[in-house]
Chains A and B, each alone.
Chain A
Amino acid sequence: MSITSTKVQEKLAALQHDYIRNLPGKLGTITRQYALLKSGSGKTQALDELHLLAHNLAGTAGTFGCPEISAAARTYDELLKQLKIQPYINSNDMQALETRFEILQLAVEKTMNLDNCTAFGKAVP
Chain B
Amino acid sequence: MNTEYPQRILYVEDEPDIQTITRIALETVGGFTLEVCNSGMEAVNKATAFEPDLILLDVMMPGMDGPSTLAELRTLQATRDTPVIFMTAKAQRHEIRQYKAMGALDVISKPFDPMRLADNVRSIWERANVDH
Contacts and interface: CB of A to CB of B under 8 A. Distances in A.
B96 interface: no
Chain B interface size band reads 20 to 34
Interface residues of A, number: 26
Interface stretch (B39-47, B71-79, B111-119): B111-119
B18 A12 contact: no
Interface in A1-57: 4, 8, 11-12, 15, 19, 48, 52, 55-56
B111 A124 contact: yes
Contacts of A63: 18, 21, 110-112, 114
A74 B21 contact: no
Contact of B111 (A19, A48, A55, A59): A59
B28 interface: yes
A61 interface: yes
Interface of A: 4, 8, 11-12, 15, 19, 48, 52, 55-56, 58-64, 67, 70, 74, 77, 120-124
Given A4-B28, A8-B115, A123-B113, 14 more contacts: A8-B24, A8-B29, A15-B21, A19-B17, A59-B15, A60-B18, A61-B111, A63-B18, A63-B110, A64-B17, A64-B111, A77-B89, A123-B111, A124-B111
26 contacts: A8-B115, A12-B114, A15-B20, A48-B62, A52-B60, A55-B60, A56-B15, A58-B89, A58-B90, A58-B110, A59-B15, A59-B89, A60-B17, A60-B18, A63-B18, A63-B111, A63-B114, A70-B111, A74-B89, A120-B113, A121-B114, A121-B116, A123-B109, A123-B113, A124-B90, A124-B111
